Structure 1
Amino acid sequence: MRALNRLSATGIKSLGEGKHPDGGGLWLHKRKDGGAQWFLRLTVHGRRREMGLGRLADVSLKEARLAAEKCRALVREGKDPIKERDRQRREGARSDNTLRSVAEDAFEARKAELRGEGKAGRWFSPLELHVLTKLGKVPVEEVNQQDIKETLAPIWHTKADTARKAMNRLNIVFKHAAALGLDVDLQATDKARALLGKSRHQPKNIVAMDWRDVPAFYASLSEPTLTHLALRLLILTGTRSKPIRFLHEDHIDGDVWTVPAELMKGLEGKTGDFRVPLSNEALSIIEQARPHARDGFLFPSSRKGVISDATMARLMERREMAERPHGFRSSLRTWLSEATSAPPEVAETVLAHATGSAVERAYRRTDFLEQRRALMERWAEHVSGSGSGKVVKLA
């Protein structure tokens, strides 16, 4: 029996289901559904490999034999035909491995980790606006530290936070490219940082109102508008603006507001929600907001969705105030330090900040709800002007 060329072009048509050898490791696999596939069995560096050579409908017997002989020749040269084919495919697709295409692929791979799967665009926008406009069409393997330095130099000192985010995202893109088997310099971003030097930008903290002045401002929010009510509730609860804007009636059970993890900074993608104890004053504000509710959301916009992120800040801007809504979290935290005996871990939990090491948090199975309930009631009394002004002591 011949070692090679056992099959014939005409005889193939009558072959039944199963695997049929042509010799030299070349086989034809006929399936139950009538389809058929060529594959080649090889031993490469002592390892048994199987390599698909295409469908019978696309590859003739003659073509399959030519392909098999080329692969056997590579084995004789000490090369792995499968790896060689993959390498050739990568090189053939090199025009598609631009920085933009790899960056978009990296973004797709990380969407599950991002808040709202990155639909707001905040993860990708630093790359889109400050890197891809200049380097997007360049093959990722050709991007070096000098390219990165020249691209980010215009914003390195003036928009330091944006530049930092763009650099960090770019580092992730390079790691993703390396995982795809592309020949990139994984130290390119570190080298670019060295070329750019330390940023001269001095970050500024959000201006916060002294906790002693909060009651007067709170009293000025006397109109039953959504903006006034939302800002009052933000002050009373110490939460960020997003949980307030997306507050839904289903999130409230009695005097506890359970904020879904996806609305909490730092909890996105995690299963744990955050419970907020509601003071009597906060419950009163919620009741005043209920008549405005649409689709269950207590703070809907005039058109669709909920009020915008800038709504409360604009009110303070119109009053020519330097402070911003986020600063009330600082006001509350300072009050907790100066006017209460709250332990640091309780005070930090009020603001949904993680404290202690990962091990400590794993063993501490409490969110201090009862302690926080007492504190938030006294904070509400302070901001609404009904408090005694005495230091709050926790039992």
Structure 2
Amino acid sequence: MSKLSALQIKNATPGKYEDGHGLRLIKREDGGGQWVYRYMLNGRRREMGLGGLGPISLKDARELASGFRTLVAKGIDPIKYREQQRREAARNEHLLKDVAHDAFESRKASLKGDGIAGRWFSPLELHVLPKLGKKPVSQIDQQDIRATLEPIWHTKASTAQKAADRLKIVIDHAAALGLDVDLQVVAKAKRLLGHQRHEIKSIPSMPWSEVPDFYATLEEPTVTHLALRLLILTGARSKPIRFARLEEFDGNVWTIPAANMKARVGAERDYRIPLSHEAIRVIELAQRMERGGYLFPSSRRGVISDATMARLMERQGLDARPHGFRSSLRTWLAEMTDAPHEVAEAMLAHMSESKVVRTYRQTDYLDRRRLLLQEWADFCTSKSAPEAR
């Protein structure tokens, strides 16, 4: 069978032309054409397209046909082989940013508020995706991750750890999608990065014995003073205090919505806090300044900021911060009461047991906590407590 030449192809009229060994050119009336490879495998004749005459030259077509003839000689179907190669190539083209968003979507149900606040995704968005987001996830290795996290590995240790942990979840998600990834790539990168020099510092707290003296300084019936008083008396975090609404208070119980609780604590249920006599008095004073249903509104709009109470303590020359009063309360419980561990932890809405244990334990120790918080309030107000204004 005669071989085709470039000149023959150029001058060929519409029709089918054989180059030999199964390679055929189908010429069209518009001057274009299509290369086809014909082969016999397991007693069955098949044809596969190799590409158009424009992008695929005669030389290219012969090389492609030669490679496919080798597969046929080995009993491998070239059409199925090419489809498999295309699927693998498509799988490996998944960009990290796309897989990361898909992983985030799959985890939303387990995140507080469906992750709307962005805290789960932000370490990736700020520190990983700007550098690696447009790279296929299957091509990311430990050197890539090392170079990405190295600038913050020691200076922002906690953030870097979160970014690495989130990236590990994304890599696991990619594996679940069937992508060709190294499940150990993040662990390898951590070994290359080494131990972090950054020391995690706890939020400064006030010794519980000094709390009454400080509480006595909060004598003005201002939003900031009253917010700090309620924070100290209840052991609540800053957010539930700042976003407290009138409808959350019913008699001597404050029910904090799950959305205002921290992380998985809020993902499960609302949290009830029994109110001491002093806490009720503070709430009554705060009601005079209520705006839009919020007990502690800002002087401009919305509620007081997270830093408002901290700035007040700074101006008094204190190292302690508002969140530290939770530590003050917890230490007081340990040193001055006989409160069982589980009750003391419940005072701060800590989850010290597994979800299964919490499911079967149908109590939040409300009555026992009420006695303890009343005792705590009596202690806090023991040094010339501020009078109602």
Same fold (TM over 0.5): yes
Tell me the SS of whatever aligns to 1:262.
helix
Q: Which residue of 1 aligns with 2:173?
A: 176
User: Compared with structure 1, are the counterparts of its residues 305 and 91 closer, same or farther at alpha carbon in structure 2 (3 Å cutoff)?
Assistant: farther
1:354 aligns with 2:351: yes
On the 8 A contact 1:262/1:268 being kept in 2, the answer is: no
- Shift in Å at residue 230 of structure 1? 0.8
1:316 to 313, 317, 322: 313
Higher mean Cα deviation, 288-297 or 263-272? 263-272
Q: TM-score, normalised by structure 2?
A: 0.73
Q: Which residue of 1 aligns with 2:277?
A: 280
On the 8 A contact 1:152/1:163 being kept in 2, the answer is: yes
Q: What value does the CA root-mean-square deviation take over the aligned residues?
A: 2.6
- Shift in Å at residue 200 of structure 1? 2.0
Q: Which residue of 2 aligns with 1:367?
A: 364
On the 8 A contact 1:114/1:268 being kept in 2, the answer is: no
1:199 aligns with 2:234: no
Q: Which residue of 2 aligns with 1:301?
A: 298
Query: Which amino acid is 1:109 matched to?
Result: S
Q: Which residue of 1 aligns with 2:187?
A: 190
Query: Which amino acid is 2:253 matched to?
Result: V
User: In the aligned structure 2, how far is the partner of 1:79 from the partner of 1:276?
Assistant: 70
Higher mean Cα deviation, 322-331 or 128-137? 128-137
User: Compared with structure 1, are the counterparts of its residues 229 and 80 closer, same or farther at alpha carbon in structure 2 (3 Å cutoff)?
Assistant: farther
User: Compared with structure 1, are the counterparts of its residues 120 and 355 closer, same or farther at alpha carbon in structure 2 (3 Å cutoff)?
Assistant: closer
Higher mean Cα deviation, 376-385 or 347-356? 347-356
> Any unmatched runs of 5+ in structure 2?
1-74, 385-389
User: In the aligned structure 2, how far is the partner of 1:311 from the partner of 1:237?
Assistant: 18
User: Compared with structure 1, are the counterparts of its residues 321 and 234 closer, same or farther at alpha carbon in structure 2 (3 Å cutoff)?
Assistant: same
Q: Which residue of 2 aligns with 1:249?
A: 246
Query: Which amino acid is 1:331 matched to?
Result: S
Q: Which residue of 1 aligns with 2:110?
A: 113
- Shift in Å at residue 324 of structure 1? 0.7
On the 8 A contact 1:111/1:118 being kept in 2, the answer is: yes
User: In the aligned structure 1, how far is the partner of 2:266 from the partner of 2:278?
Assistant: 32
- Shift in Å at residue 267 of structure 1? 3.5
1:331 to 309, 317, 328: 328
User: In the aligned structure 2, how far is the partner of 1:384 from the partner of 1:80?
Assistant: 83
Query: Which amino acid is 2:282 matched to?
Result: I
Q: Which residue of 2 aligns with 1:162?
A: 159
User: In the aligned structure 2, how far is the partner of 1:330 from the partner of 1:172?
Assistant: 32
- Shift in Å at residue 168 of structure 1? 0.4
Q: TM-score, normalised by structure 1?
A: 0.72
2:139 to 142, 145, 155: 142
Q: For CA contacts below 8 A with separation 6 or more, give which structure has more relative contact order.
A: 2
On the 8 A contact 2:207/2:328 being kept in 1, the answer is: yes
User: Compared with structure 1, are the counterparts of its residues 267 and 80 closer, same or farther at alpha carbon in structure 2 (3 Å cutoff)?
Assistant: farther
Percent of aligned pairs with the same residue? Answer: 59
Query: Which amino acid is 2:250 matched to?
Result: D
Q: Which residue of 2 aligns with 1:68?
A: none
On the 8 A contact 2:112/2:263 being kept in 1, the answer is: no
Q: Which has the larger radius of gyration?
A: 2
- Shift in Å at residue 224 of structure 1? 1.7
User: Compared with structure 1, are the counterparts of its residues 244 and 78 closer, same or farther at alpha carbon in structure 2 (3 Å cutoff)?
Assistant: farther
User: In the aligned structure 1, how far is the partner of 2:358 from the partner of 2:91?
Assistant: 47
- Shift in Å at residue 328 of structure 1? 0.3
On the 8 A contact 1:278/1:376 being kept in 2, the answer is: yes
User: In the aligned structure 2, how far is the partner of 1:176 from the partner of 1:103?
Assistant: 8
> Any unmatched runs of 5+ in structure 1?
1-75, 388-395
User: Compared with structure 1, are the counterparts of its residues 129 and 320 closer, same or farther at alpha carbon in structure 2 (3 Å cutoff)?
Assistant: farther
1:212 aligns with 2:209: yes
